[in-house]
A and B are shown apart, each in its own frame.
Chain A
Amino acid sequence: MFEKEGMMIDEAPMTYVKKINSHEFLLGHGKPTLLSQVDIELTERCNNNCIHCCINLPEDDADAESREMSTDFVKGILTEIASQGCLTVRFTGGEPLLRSDFSEIYLFTRRLGMRVILFTNARLITPELAELFARIPLGNLIEVSVYGMTSESYDRVAGCVGAYGEFRRGVELLQHYQVPFFVKGPKLRFLQDEQEEFEAWAKTIPSMEHQPPGYSMNFELRSRRDDPLKNRTITKLRATPEESVAMLSRDPLALEEMVVFCSNFIGPPGDTLFDCGAGHGCCIDSYGHAQLCLPLRDPESVVNLHDVSLKSVLEEAFPVMRQIKATNPDYLRRCARCFLKGLCEQCPAKSWMEYGTLDTPVEYFCEVAHAKARFLGLLGADEMGWEVENWRERVERPARSVEG
C-alpha cells in the first residue's frame, strides 16, 4: 500500500499473502505459468510385467539401464525447468522407484521449489522413503496403481509372483506414515469380481474419502512399437465400445463432465494434427529426449536434450512441430471433418503407436467414440461423426436429448 515513483503498488491490503490456485497453475495475478508441469520418465524398466502395459522393460534390462539419464543429467534438467518457472514435476516410468538415486532426485526437485507427482506401483516403498515423503511432502497425492485385491489376481496382472505382498506392504507404509495417496487401476474383465472390494477399500483411504478410484480401460498399444505379441494381448484386454459406454453410464459425474465438455469443446479439427496440449509443456523420456507428450515417441518428433537445450526445444522445435498438418487422405476425409474429435482419443501419439504414422484414424478409438456419442445422443444409429453438418445444434442440446 505504499508507492514508488508516483505509482501506488497496492490498494490497502486485507492480506499480503495469497494462496495460489496451484492445480490450475495460475500465479497470483491469474496468469498461467510458462511451463506449469513437466513429466519425467525416470526409467522404462519395471519390477512388474503387467499384461496391459504399453512401456515396461524388464527390471534387469542392463542395456536400458545403461542408456538412462544420469543423476547429474536429471538434475541439470530439473534446474533448467525450475528456471523456466515449472511448478510441478511428474515422475513416472516404468517404475520410477527402481532408480537407486530416486530419493536424491526427489529432494533435489523439492529444494528447487517444485512439487512432485509420483506414479508408482508402491512395491518399492521402504520405511525410509515413506518417512521422507511424510517429512518433505510431495505437495500432491502419490498415485498408486493397483492390479488386484488378491495375490492371485494381482500377480497374474503384474506377471510376477510375490508382487501383491510387496504392494500391500508399500501401501501400509504410506498409511503408517500418513502419506496421502490415490489409487487407480486397470479395468480388466477378470478383475470385475473384485471391483466392489477395491472401491470399498479405496474409500477407507483418508486421502480418497471424496473421490472414487481412477480406472483405465481403453489401453494403449506398446508406445515404442516394440512388441507385436504383447500388442495382441493388449488388443484383447481393451474395453469394447459397449463396455466403455457401460462404464460411462455407471459414473454420472463423468457423464455430466463429458456433456459439458462436448458442448464447449468438440468440433472438427481440420488438418491441424496437434490441436491438443502437446508441446505446450514438456515430457522427457528415460534417455533424455524431449517429447511433445508422454506417449509420443516417434523418433522424428523427439529431441535429444544431450544435444540441444530445453529452452530451445520449447521455443523453437516444439512450436514448429505443432504446426504439422495431416496429409493422410483417410484422416482428411474422416477425423479432420469429424465433430467427435474432442470426444475421441484419436491423437498423433496413438496413431503412431498403432500404425507408425501420425495421421491415421485409429479404428478402435473411432468405434469407442462413436459408441459414446450415440449413448450421449449426439449421433443417430447409422451416422458417422464426419457426416454430420448440424453438429453445433447437437452439442448445444442437453445430454442424451437426441435419443429422447
Chain B
Amino acid sequence: MRWVWRGLLGVAILLPAAALARPLAFVLNSDDASISIIDMATRREIRREPVLRQPHHITLSPDGKLVLAGDTVGNQILYLDPETGRILRRQTISDPYQLMFSPDGRVLTVTGLARNQVDIYAFTDATGLTLLHRVPARSMPSHIAYAPDSSVVYVSLQGSNRLMAISVRSGAVLWDVPVGETPAGVLWDHDHVLVGLMGEDGIAVVDPTDGHVLRMVRTGRGAHNLFFSPDGRLIYVTNRVAGTITVLDRASLTVLRDYRVPGGPDDIEFAPDGTLWVTQRFDHGVLFLDPRTGTYSRINVGRSPHGIFLNTDRHTHRTEEP
C-alpha cells in the first residue's frame, strides 16, 4: 500500500503550489467543447476544462469576481473563477453567443446568433442573470458595443448586413440600417461607432444617431474585430481573409502598420508585457505577437479557438474611454 502514502504526499506537496494563484488565460475552443486554461507566465496550457458543446465568448463580471462564458449549443452560461479557472456554476440561457457588460456594469447584453434575438439581462452575483428585454433581430446578431453612457447598445447583424441600435432602458429598437457586407466587430469611439466588415476590406465609421455610414477605412480583406490598445491610443483590427492585424491611430483612424498573422486571427487580448494574445480560429492556436517587432510565437490549443480572456490586474473594459 506504499502508493497510497506516496499519493497523499504528492497531493500535500502539490496543493500549496496550486493555491498560489498564477495569472491565467482562458481560451474558448468552440469546436472542442473545452476551455484551455493557460499559465500566462510560462504560456503553457495547464489543462482543458470541459464544457457542454460549443463555447464562443467570455467576459469578466463588473466586480471582477467571475468570468462568464457562453456555450451556444449547450444553452448555458458558465460562471468560472478567474483565479483558478474552475466552473463554479451554470445557468440555462438559450444560445448565448456574444456577451458583454455595459460600461456602468448594470446590464449584460447577449446575442442569440442562431435564434435572431438580442437579450438584455440584469446581473447580480447572487441571482445571476435576469432577463430585462428580449429584442427580435434580423439574421445573425453577433457583436456588441455600448455608448459610453450605457444608454444604447449596438449590435451587428452578420446575416443581414445591418447594424441595429437598441435602447438599454426600454429595449426599443432605435434604428436598424444597412452598413455593408457581413458586419462583425463593433466598437464605440469618439462619438462614432466603428464596424468591421468581413465581406469587405475595412471598417465602416457609423453615425450613432441614425446609423448612416460616414466613411470607410481600409484595413484589409475580411475585417473582423476591433480592439483598443491598453493605452487607448491605437485600434487593432483583425482581418480574417487578409491574414493580418492592422494598427490604426485612434485619433485620425489612419493606418500605421500591418502585421502578418496566420491561422485566421479572431479575438485579441493584451498581456501586461505588451504582447498581443490572438486566437487563431482555423489553426487551433494562440499566437503571441510582439507589436514592437512584429514577431510572434504560438502554442496549440483546441479546435477553433474563439474568445479569449487574460486575468490581468489592468484588464480594462473595451468600451471605456481612456
Same assembly: no
